[in-house]
Amino acid sequence: MRLAVCILLAAAVAAASTAQDEPHSYRNFKLIRINPENDATLSYLKSLYEEESPYTLDFWQPPSHVGGVVDLTVAPSDASSLIRDLSARGIHYIVAIHDLQKAIESEKSLTSWAHPPKGFGYERYNSVDEIYNELKRLKRERPSLITLIDIGQTHENRTMLVVKIGGGQSLDEDAPSVWLDAGIHAREWIAPATAMFIVRELVEGYDVDPKLQAMIDHVPFYILPVMNPDGYEYSRTSDRMWRKNRRPAECQHKDWHTVCCRGVDLNRNFDWYWAVSFLPYFSASGSSSDSCHDTYHGPAAFSEPESMAVRDFLEAYPPKAFISLHSYSQMWLIPFGHRRRSYPADYSSALRPLALRATKALEAVHGTKYQVGTGADLMYEASGGSHDWAKGALKVPFSYLIELRPRNTLFGNGFLLPEREIAPVGNETWAAIRVVADEVFSQFAQPSLRGKAGKKPETPLSLHKLGLRGTSTEQTTAASRSEPTVTETDAPTTVSPSTTVQPETATVTIQPRTVVVVESTVTPVTLATVTCEDYGSYCRLWKVFNLCDRRAVHKLCALTCNPQCRV
């Protein structure tokens, strides 16, 4: 499989250099979605992902564990043989997208096809230039609220532009702040769009929401809406499914071929267990040393101008919260992601309770449900990630990675989220991020404001006069206890030093740990009202994709979904 990818990418590099204006066509490529139900299916999928495979595949969600949804795209020429192979092995799958090119074209809203818009739009997927021009326009309109900071240049000499909102025009390394970046992975377009949506929420909210104003005055936001501008532009003009940055090609000799591939996965390039894999076998999702792979970690930690620029800025102005926007799968990820069952010391006391409160606020907006946990526990182990580095090395108190919409059930379009979802995603994500910012405000800004006001620490703060919600650690913990959708069982907690790879890192290892995420809100139906019949194979498929918790599915598929029917 990897060789196929290498040759394919080498061909893509060559094609791109000869005919730059012809974007890669995904006509009739399929998105296949599989929920591996057993170890045999899982190892088969892993062999397709990690070893040579006869098919041209691109894994959008790599195989990790039984029950973890796998999304892969297949070229039209290989689709029927792959599907025959899956069926022969008894593997349940769905074709979530029949024609990827059509889905790419449907990302744009109908109105924008009919009337191609000029310039920037908050409910559109914009170019880097459009985004930067909008930031410059905002700066001209609100010079005292907004500061633009050029933090570095990319391989292709694009500027990495951070917008600072609030906190005055000078940079203060001691002021508590919130960092938000997006677009570290080029093809995850919803992330930069959401970051820009949040920029607008902050700027417009500042004038009309006194609580927000008080918060931003003391806790500025630093927002990097496009962390990988070269890759993002490449995904707009040449290959919609590009993920990495655009580091110039590195060539390797393989058998009788020389293959040259561009790009580094920036979310494997941070100095947190960089290039380390804890799995007993090669795991490409973890971090790959193959420059042709989508998770290539680069020649050294921080080898890339983009990750280096972010590191240098954050080391100079360390924030109290670090949030990195990605897509997709609706997960709120907490460090550490490099290894299963590895958690920072304040995972259960601070990071997770705040994540639960944030996702609860998110759900309250449109009913969107998120899973909460570490990337390694919920997805796959991956080293060199930015949010792990922010927590583990930089010691940022609250560090998260958010995998935005959609979820990977049934017909979600993966990375190709239609533009009409930008506003709902923006609104709900802002509600969650505001919870995090409020927490930073009450933990890190309020105490010094109290000091300045010359009041005793116990005195209820003047911010309460402004109607600001006090969020003490105690409240946070209580909130997590009453969170109804998550149950957690911890065995006795042991504190062990980390491995020798990273200095001074105490890692709390909780073994064994079972996190049961219950997403169902279905009211149990009593047997008396249930006819234990259903639509057979459809229902089994829906069950495989965890859709029994949908009220309609639960009703139509009583025999399959309702445990009472199986007694």
Segment contacting Zn ion by CB under 5 A, of 178-186, 313-321, 346-354, 413-421: 178-186
Assess whether the previous peptide bond of 512 is cis (omega < 30° from 0).
yes
Q: Which member of 50, 304, 403, 421 is catalytic? A: 403
> Of the two residues 184 and 437, which places its CB atom closer to ligand 0X9 in the complex?
184
Q: DSSP 3-state assignment of 307?
A: helix
Question: Is 381 annotated in the active site?
Answer: no
Residue 260's beta-bridge partner residues?
A: 251
* Helix, strand, coil percentages in the chain from 3-state DSSP, rounded to 5: 40, 20, 45
* Gap between the Cα atoms of 403 and 69, Å rounded: 14
Q: DSSP 3-state assignment of 276?
A: coil
Q: How far is the CB of 326 from ligand 0X9 (least distance, A)?
A: 3
Residue 337, binding choice from Zn ion, ligand 0X9, none, Cβ under 5 to 8 Å by partner class: ligand 0X9
Binding of Zn ion at residue 244 (CB under 5 A)?
no
118 φ, ψ (degrees, to nearest 5): -105, 140
Residue 544, binding choice from ligand 0X9, Zn ion, none, Cβ under 5 to 8 Å by partner class: none
Binding of Zn ion at residue 326 (CB under 5 A)?
yes
> Of the two residues 425 and 561, which places its CB atom closer to Zn ion in the complex?
425
Binding of ligand 0X9 at residue 275 (CB under 6 A)?
no
373 φ, ψ (degrees, to nearest 5): 165, -170
- Burial class of residue 467 in the structure, from the number of CB atoms within 10 Å of its CB (0-12 exposed, 13-18 middle, 19+ buried): exposed
Number of residues that bind ligand 0X9 (CB under 6 A): 15
Binding of ligand 0X9 at residue 382 (CB under 6 A)?
yes
Region of residue 331 (phi > 0: left; psi between -120 and 50: alpha; otherwise: beta): beta
Name residues whose C-beta falls within 8 Å of residue 92's C-beta, 6 or more positions apart in sequence: 34, 35, 37, 540, 541, 544
Q: How far is the CB of 381 from ligand 0X9 (least distance, A)?
A: 6
Segment contacting Zn ion by CB under 5 A, of 179-187, 344-352, 414-422, 530-538: 179-187
Q: Of residues 36, 225, 385, 392, which one binds ligand 0X9 by CB under 6 A?
A: 385
> Of the two residues 48 and 69, which places its CB atom closer to ligand 0X9 in the complex?
69
Q: How far is the CB of 403 from ligand 0X9 (least distance, A)?
A: 6
Region of residue 536 (phi > 0: left; psi between -120 and 50: alpha; otherwise: beta): left
Residue 186, binding choice from Zn ion, ligand 0X9, none, Cβ under 5 to 8 Å by partner class: none
Q: Of residues 30, 124, 158, 185, which one binds Zn ion by CB under 5 A?
A: 185
CA distances from 381 to 65, 273, 336, 376, 493 (A): 11, 11, 9, 4, 21
Residue 515, binding choice from ligand 0X9, Zn ion, none, Cβ under 5 to 8 Å by partner class: none
Q: How far is the CB of 235 from Zn ion (least distance, A)?
A: 12
Name residues whose C-beta falls within 8 Å of residue 351's C-beta, 6 or more positions apart in sequence: 334, 335, 344, 391, 398, 399, 400
Residues that bind ligand 0X9 (CB under 6 A): 185, 188, 267, 326, 333, 337, 375-376, 379-382, 385, 401, 403
